[in-house]
Amino acid sequence: MKQPSSHSNRINGVVLMAVASLTVPIVDASAKYLSTDISPFFLAWARFAIAAPAFGVFCKLRRGHILFTRDTRDIAAVVPRGLALVIAMTCVFLALRSVPLSTAFGGYFIGPVIATVLARILLDETITRIQSFATALGFLGALLVLQPEIGFSQGELFAALSGLAFGVYLLLTREASKRLGSLDTTLITLLTGSICLFPFALRTWPELTLTSSGLLLEMGLLTAFCQYFVIRALVLAPTAVVAPIAYLELISASLLGFIIFGNLPSTLAIVGLAAIIVSGTILARR
Q: What is the pLDDT of residues 228-268, one digit of tens each?
A: 888 788 778 776 677 777 788 888 888 898 899 888 777 88
C-beta of residue 94 within 8 angstroms of C-beta of residue 123: no
**What distances in angstroms separate CA 184 from CA 52, 61, 84, 220, one per listed residue?**
11, 14, 17, 18
What is the average pLDDT across 138-156? 72
Q: What's CA 113's distance to the chain center, in Å?
A: 14
Confidence band (pLDDT; 50, 70, 90) for 150? very low
Q: Domain limits of the chain?
A: 6-284
Select from 217, 188, 178 the least CA-distant residue to 66. 188
The pTM score is: 0.83
Considering the chain, what percentage of its residues have pLDDT values greater than 90?
29
Residue 53, Cβ density class (10 Å: 0-12 exposed, 13-18 middle, ≥19 buried): middle
Confidence band (pLDDT; 50, 70, 90) for 120? confident
